Amino acid sequence: MKKLALHWQILLGMVLGVAVGWLMTNFDSGRELVQDWIKPFGNMFINSLKLIAVPLILGSLIKGVSDLKDISKLSKMGGRTIAIYIVTTLLAVSIGLILVNIIKPGFSIKEETRIEMVENYGGDAAKYQESAKKQKESGPLKALEDLVPSNIFKAASDNGSMLQVIFFAIFFGIGLILIPEKTSEPVKKFFDGFNEVILKMIDIIMLAAPYGVFALLAALVVESPSLDLFKALGWYAITVIVGLALMIVVYNIIMYSYTKRKPSFFMKNMAPAQLLAFSTSSSAATLPVTMERVTEHIGVEEEVASFVLPIGATINMDGTSLYQAVAAVFIAQAFGMDLDLATQLGIVATATLASIGSAAVPGAGMVMLVIVLAQAGIPEAGLALIFAVDRPLDMCRTIVNVTGDATVAMVVAKSVDKLGDPDIKDWDDDYPKNK
């Protein structure tokens, strides 16, 4: 019997996880059983991916930068990467604002439902407000100041400090380029071997992916709030999901326009990374798989992927920025506020910058959303309104983040003539062999 492909195994794990979670909600002790005996395996799976996130970024980015052999190549690739990321983020925010103003999901929220949700999630909202308050009180150049670590070992010990790790890796790679090749060769060989070891660890971890996804989804179902709250927020969720789906369409249009690769080829080969992104809600945790799919199955050369993807996992949060735009206007509508054009343009700018500083881990978008709300003059207490459906939507928007990273990697690779053929085993009718 032919073994199921990885993405089908992950999908099966997701379905079984939802089924088991729903089944356990019908028993008095079902919630506790899932939390005590199933959820820990999901947490271990996520932790194992996070475990190798920093080593992967260090190894792959240092290797990618040093392989350029030329500072001018780094400047060219880096400028294009960041420019494309900013453009796609602006597109995402704009799509979100257009949809939320057309659908107007906030007007479907009843007063009694809003009061109930504020009471249920007020404590969590206060926690995020406090974290965001500290960020707002910092100076205008604080984000730039925080980019440079005072201690690389301290930065590497915190997955929330990925930008600092990326700064060090690029700086280190530039240093390798600038010293004589004879001197740099042993260091480059070390990182080549180091990178291979990390990639092999990824292969081992991915053997457990279907089981980890099963545990994560089962826990999510038993911990979800009542169905009445989900129904009240249905239009909001639909608005976000439609926006995210449109963003996927935009990526495929951009990808096809620049690379001439068919959308079916792209989506088929990115499916395992997208499904893992959905289950983990973390671009950083999914980065190892994204790297593997883009290089081995799509054809982006490693020196491009190892540069573009780690940066994208940190600063390219298109799904998050789209969600922030929709959430901000939705909360304003729920409170009966009518936002003018200037305020909504302010949301575009703030959501774009906030997405760049948002950590690639579950729930980080919530902290940045408070800053967006404050900039627009929207009551921050309204954050509690969207807690009920935030986690499922977080899972969906992470798919967009990961797909955006892969799209930009393909476009940048094509622009520097580093988009080759995927492995022969991955060719199918969707791949344009006669280019």
C-alpha 308/C-alpha 291 separation (Å) is 10
Let me know if residue 434 belongs to a domain.
no
What mean pLDDT do residues 97-109 have?
Answer: 84
Percent over 90 (pLDDT), the chain: 16
Residue 300: phi and psi, rounded to 5, are -75, 130
How many CB atoms lie under 10 A from the CB of residue 249? Answer: 11
pLDDT single digits (tens) 255-306: 999 988 999 999 999 999 999 888 877 787 888 889 889 998 898 988 888 8
Does a structural domain hold residue 288?
Answer: yes
Does some domain include residue 431?
Answer: no
Domains identified in the chain, total number: 1
Which position has the higher pLDDT, 118 or 86? 86
Instruction: With a cut of 90, say whether residue 408 has pLDDT above it.
Output: yes
Q: Give the C-alpha separation, 402 to 265, whole Å.
A: 16
Q: Which residues contact 55 (CB under 8 A, 6 or more apart)?
A: 194, 198
Average pLDDT over residues 403-410: 93
Q: Report the alpha-carbon angle 23-27-32, nearest 5.
A: 95
Is the residue at 1 inside a domain? no
Handedness of CA 269, 272, 273, 279 (dihedral sign): positive
Question: What is the model's pLDDT at position 166?
Answer: 77
Residue 244: which CATH number?
A: 1.10.3860.10
On the question of pLDDT at 242 being above 70, the answer is yes
Q: Is the dihedral of CA 194, 199, 205, 207 positive or negative?
A: negative
Measured between its terminal Cα atoms, the distance across the chain in Å is: 35
Query: What's the whole-number average pLDDT of the chain?
Result: 78
- Report, as an integer, the average pLDDT of 68-85: 75
> Domain residues for 257?
6-426
- What's the average model confidence in pLDDT over 404-423? 86
Radius of gyration for the chain, computed over Cα atoms and rounded to the nearest angstrom: 22
Would 385 be classed as within a structural domain?
yes
Higher-pLDDT residue of 386 and 230 is 386
Does 195 map to a domain? yes
Has residue 250 got a pLDDT over 70? yes
Is residue 432 in a domain?
no
CA dihedral 214, 217, 220, 226 (to 10 degrees): -120
Q: What is the pLDDT of residue 435?
A: 41
What per-residue confidence (pLDDT) applies to 110? Answer: 66
Tokens of residue 150, six digits: 């005072």
- Which of 301, 365, 315 has its CA nearest to residue 162? 315
Residue 36 in any domain: the answer is: yes
